[in-house]
Structure 1
């Protein structure tokens, strides 16, 4: 609509492109045409352009494996070896973990192994439920207390208590360590820009390399068991805390910093008495992210000895027992919801100053909730000592929905097998297989050049060089063919997730009640362990690419919905009213105004959808995909550090290229809108 395009609030009005922009666009078009031409001409161009020559490959996997063997067997730090250092660190982590596990699950034992005798019982399940209810009441009032009591009560009623407490013990150790290390690294990055530039690529790799890829070196260095799993959890969960710390400290108003300098604060006082308290709200968001990512790790951590709910889900997947897997998965969701709401409530509470003087009060009056919590712990230990029925809920009192879920899947298979098989076959023959062949036959030289020019077009020379170099390294390390399979599955899954998520987000943005219900579904999807998605997909569609696609779409659709709603709800109402005043129809307001203004946030949603899809692709290696995820998983089973890390780096490179390009595109759109 011409009048909308000409209006000052429209994103359509643009200036003439600069000569460099016109040149980059022309170059991008030419290279794209050459790529298609090369694909059409086929082998006549030269086999090297399609299959990277083996003689040119970088033997990165062999070098990494050799370096790892040297590190484990020969590296010395003077009086002790590097392995001694890592095992010492594992021993330090094991001390608080053993204490937490003893309090919550096993009790305090005397002796080793099967000869161990319980001296002091664990906390009663009733005591733990009362304790978390007390924390909820202190942080958020009655509603939050009721919510966390219901979540922990769910764990007890459905027979998941023992496993949940093992998982909670790991979380209680991993989260404080991750928060402290992330805070210290974030402070260093904020204070010294050189440190920030040095750790930023490491943080990118920590967040994008599949966790499977570095399970093998963790096992070599830290041994098999819960402490190694906690180390893996820290690597996965710590980066958001570092990033949020840097952003939070930079967001502290300059007036507060100036006030600290005026009163004569030293550097240490300025950091811990002024900056950190002022950034407490942002830092608590980082704590929340560490908690949620730690919970996302529980299943993968169970592969190296963590146990708990993650092990239950993994065992159910191996048996294809969908009922048991769902129950353990929903138990993880209940635990995640309780911890998420508690951390958010404490984050809000941290910004509210305490009211009332502490003078003239005794210790109990100054800290009533802490005193009550200690009393609950002591009474709970006493109750467990006196009555086994209070230590753990008797099996006769528990419920189970496992049979119900198994019967639901069986009923669907019996009544809808033909329809499901027709859908599977149609999509395989007409979409998945043709697109997979198309990508596999593209020349790597042309794709690398195309990505380099696209990066230059979106973000300048630096992004162009980054995209070209990373894509070239994928080919040069011998991962190109599997990378194309990864891109094919990820691309189709992201398109389908967007086709589902964006329309749902558009509808929900206009209906508050629908959005509230949809948020519950999204939160459940994002906290449900990724392995749980595989079980119904395998039981309905067997193994293969289509099964992986279904699981990836189910896991990755949440950010597409969330960011679409976020972008549309942030559109200035005055802009919408101006459009109505100009006579725009509802469809024109949506397409010409709202969607254009919300496009940057929607692109960030696309970015997150890609990240979710890539993280799920590694999990789908368990159902027979032949991509980089399978390469990582095979390396894990063979304890081949080099092979796993090289394949993991290839996944990380794909993620980084997509992230940087989409972020650059979103930034350009924001500049045009502003």
Structure 2
């Protein structure tokens, strides 16, 4: 050994045992702290002193009160400004609802007179099918027709049109706002750095948390619900816009400058059209997220299918709730397929066959003209507009009877399963989380951040964890972490094996994909109705609902990660004598771990979003705090609890993303 080599090795040797022993030492220390009596540590270590707490909730409530009662902009107050803004937003929303659902009416109450009726169901189906055919051909037109016929036959048409009007206006506003903000972030990097954490909070904060501020600012009604929906649905559009605009080739920009384009022309005639296929992905996400919150938005006056599901949950009417929930799923699938077809069409060259294009154009014009004629006919013969009640179908009684039969027949078995999981899993984990001193939990989070991403990540996640204690919501936060953690572990134990199996069997994957697509598009509230009827309220009910909703990303990302492994690596392993199990355990799974971790990350996000909704079935976590704040009109408490939920999600996201990037770097994969 040379003298030049010895100092470097002498410095490296002590670091290796330290890194290997760090987490075992943390685990041993954690076990010791849990077993210590309460008197072994100062009282402030077990419960954050109220004297040290920051009264953030009263401060926010007082600020909102001052903002609405006293703040002004010279000639008008903030209250006047927000009400004027609400009136402006109500114009397109009222127009869309009148066009699709209620008709254009003059007068109020008994004096109301319908000037122009709403588009009848048969005309709407014709217009929608024609639009689907023009965008996506028969492959889109046939599912569009079948989906809309389902809404009519099962009596969901009126509510579906109210929901569709709200979703269309919210999606248009969210897409335009997200595109404009994304363009601004591309132009000004400083704005991008400022907006990024705000988008993180907006995506991870529960919708419940900012329903109350929307009510205070814009009043009770569909406008407040629409603004809350836009805030929740716009962040993906902003992120997609930034990525899509920055991905435009430099040659396009150079061509625009050479032809003398101004900055505005370069943006709207070169950048945006070139990035349009990618931008349509963001529009698709806005539509899906808007539909995801229609039930929550119905709590503050949105109405439509969301109100039908919420009413069914309150009365435990599984049949009505399931039919309305399936109607939301049908709308989600149809709008999703339509948006995807628009994205494909925007990237496809125009049809070259002039005769075929002329025939399609004539067929579309004739169908639209017929739809308009039938619509005008309903103004003179209103009785032809409604779908006959005698022709309607309902599966409600069947589902109600099925759940009742399961409840009666398997009551003892279901109670035994529930009791076993409560006593052996949920209660011990809950007691363990509540027994940990808050400084030690904050320290563990910071240590994890330091090991995975350095001191900046450690400081970020450590301060986020400390925030939950400082605002006085540590216990509720730990209950949230416990229930979310158990749900994510169970989802991973189910999702990873299913994803591995489906990745290697195409027929099985088609079946699994159909199931998880249904689970992801079915409204979250619909999960609760049958589960509450079978298991009643409590943590176990919440656990099942969360697992059902959150298991899809674990399956999808695992299957994607395992399936995308290079065939050359698999062939090399087989040539070296590896068995099928060895190829799976030593090649496929190790290389797919970064993708699997990203799937777990998405599972955590979905679990947190569902956890807030399960507050309706008796959990005592941050979701319950948020829901109680909404009921008490305490805007400060709701926002602070929402920030805690957002910080839990952001801590998990930062740590898992850093871990996945580190694994990819070690394996020489693309970051």
Please indicate, yes or no, whether the TM-score normalized by the shorter chain is above 0.5: yes
Corresponding residue for residue 513 of structure 1: 507
Aligned positions of 1:82-93 closer than 5 A = 82-93=78-89
Corresponding residue for residue 327 of structure 1: 323
Give the secondary structure class of the aligned counterpart of 2:114. strand
- Aligned-partner Cα distance in 2 for 1:267–1:21: 55
Cα deviation, residue 498, structure 1: 1.1
Corresponding residue for residue 3 of structure 2: none
The equivalent position to 1:669 in structure 2, one of 663, 666, 669, is 663
- Aligned-partner Cα distance in 1 for 2:453–2:663: 12
Distance of aligned partners of 1:17 and 1:318 in 2 relative to their CA distance in 1, 3 Å threshold: farther
Cα deviation, residue 570, structure 1: 1.2
Deviates more, 1:80-89 or 1:425-434: 80-89
Cα deviation, residue 671, structure 1: 0.7
Corresponding residue for residue 625 of structure 2: 631
Corresponding residue for residue 618 of structure 1: 612
The equivalent position to 2:349 in structure 1, one of 350, 353, 356, is 353
- Aligned-partner Cα distance in 2 for 1:491–1:55: 30
Cα deviation, residue 23, structure 1: 5.3
- Aligned-partner Cα distance in 2 for 1:91–1:496: 47
- Aligned-partner Cα distance in 2 for 1:297–1:527: 11
Give the secondary structure class of the aligned counterpart of 1:392. coil
Give the secondary structure class of the aligned counterpart of 1:118. strand
The equivalent position to 2:203 in structure 1, one of 181, 188, 207, is 207
TM-superposition CA deviations, 1:350-380 (whole Å, max 9, x none)? 111324699xx9x999976874575255224
Distance of aligned partners of 1:372 and 1:570 in 2 relative to their CA distance in 1, 3 Å threshold: farther
C-alpha contact 1:131 1:376 (8 A) present in aligned 2: no
Cα deviation, residue 140, structure 1: 1.2
Runs (5+) with no aligned partner, structure 2: 1-10
- Aligned-partner Cα distance in 1 for 2:618–2:344: 45
Cα deviation, residue 121, structure 1: 1.1
C-alpha contact 1:439 1:488 (8 A) present in aligned 2: yes
Deviates more, 1:627-636 or 1:499-508: 499-508
The equivalent position to 2:535 in structure 1, one of 528, 538, 541, is 541
Give the secondary structure class of the aligned counterpart of 1:353. coil
- Aligned-partner Cα distance in 2 for 1:533–1:49: 39
Corresponding residue for residue 230 of structure 1: 226
Corresponding residue for residue 10 of structure 1: none
Cα deviation, residue 484, structure 1: 0.6
Tell me: higher relative CO, structure 1 or 2? Use CA pairs within 8 A at least 6 residues apart. 1
Cα deviation, residue 171, structure 1: 1.1
Cα deviation, residue 389, structure 1: 4.9
Cα deviation, residue 33, structure 1: 3.6
- Aligned-partner Cα distance in 1 for 2:664–2:86: 47
Distance of aligned partners of 1:637 and 1:114 in 2 relative to their CA distance in 1, 3 Å threshold: farther
2:111 aligned with 1:115, yes or no? yes
2:155 aligned with 1:159, yes or no? yes
- Aligned-partner Cα distance in 1 for 2:461–2:643: 14
Cα deviation, residue 251, structure 1: 1.5
Aligned positions of 1:376-395 closer than 5 A = 376-395=370-389
- Aligned-partner Cα distance in 2 for 1:18–1:391: 83
C-alpha contact 1:35 1:443 (8 A) present in aligned 2: no
- Aligned-partner Cα distance in 2 for 1:639–1:264: 56
Cα deviation, residue 655, structure 1: 0.3
Corresponding residue for residue 69 of structure 1: 65
The equivalent position to 2:522 in structure 1, one of 512, 518, 528, is 528
Corresponding residue for residue 438 of structure 1: 432
The equivalent position to 1:168 in structure 2, one of 159, 164, 168, is 164
2:477 aligned with 1:478, yes or no? no
Cα deviation, residue 36, structure 1: 3.0
Corresponding residue for residue 306 of structure 1: 302
- Aligned-partner Cα distance in 2 for 1:101–1:401: 28
Deviates more, 1:29-38 or 1:343-352: 29-38
Deviates more, 1:127-136 or 1:114-123: 114-123
C-alpha contact 1:556 1:612 (8 A) present in aligned 2: yes
Corresponding residue for residue 552 of structure 2: 558
Distance of aligned partners of 1:469 and 1:165 in 2 relative to their CA distance in 1, 3 Å threshold: same
Distance of aligned partners of 1:230 and 1:585 in 2 relative to their CA distance in 1, 3 Å threshold: same
The equivalent position to 2:314 in structure 1, one of 313, 318, 333, is 318
The equivalent position to 2:30 in structure 1, one of 16, 30, 35, is 35
Corresponding residue for residue 278 of structure 1: 274
Cα deviation, residue 86, structure 1: 1.3
Corresponding residue for residue 242 of structure 1: 238
2:460 aligned with 1:466, yes or no? yes
The equivalent position to 1:399 in structure 2, one of 385, 393, 401, is 393
Cα deviation, residue 670, structure 1: 0.9
Cα deviation, residue 27, structure 1: 4.9
Aligned residues: 656
Cα deviation, residue 77, structure 1: 1.4
Deviates more, 1:21-30 or 1:175-184: 21-30
The equivalent position to 1:585 in structure 2, one of 579, 584, 599, is 579
2:95 aligned with 1:99, yes or no? yes
Corresponding residue for residue 419 of structure 2: 425
Cα deviation, residue 19, structure 1: 7.7
Distance of aligned partners of 1:17 and 1:129 in 2 relative to their CA distance in 1, 3 Å threshold: farther
Distance of aligned partners of 1:77 and 1:373 in 2 relative to their CA distance in 1, 3 Å threshold: farther
TM-superposition CA deviations, 1:471-512 (whole Å, max 9, x none)? 001111011100111011101111111111111111111111
Cα deviation, residue 635, structure 1: 0.1
- Aligned-partner Cα distance in 1 for 2:372–2:53: 63
Distance of aligned partners of 1:114 and 1:247 in 2 relative to their CA distance in 1, 3 Å threshold: farther
Cα deviation, residue 307, structure 1: 0.5
The equivalent position to 1:133 in structure 2, one of 129, 136, 150, is 129
Give the secondary structure class of the aligned counterpart of 2:37. helix
Cα deviation, residue 39, structure 1: 2.2
The equivalent position to 2:485 in structure 1, one of 481, 491, 496, is 491
2:647 aligned with 1:647, yes or no? no
C-alpha contact 2:241 2:279 (8 A) present in aligned 1: yes
Corresponding residue for residue 259 of structure 1: 255
- Aligned-partner Cα distance in 1 for 2:35–2:594: 36
2:408 aligned with 1:410, yes or no? no
Cα deviation, residue 26, structure 1: 5.0
Runs (5+) with no aligned partner, structure 1: 1-15
Distance of aligned partners of 1:312 and 1:462 in 2 relative to their CA distance in 1, 3 Å threshold: same
Distance of aligned partners of 1:211 and 1:140 in 2 relative to their CA distance in 1, 3 Å threshold: same
Cα deviation, residue 459, structure 1: 1.1
2:445 aligned with 1:448, yes or no? no
Give the secondary structure class of the aligned counterpart of 1:109. strand
Distance of aligned partners of 1:270 and 1:159 in 2 relative to their CA distance in 1, 3 Å threshold: same
Cα deviation, residue 418, structure 1: 0.7
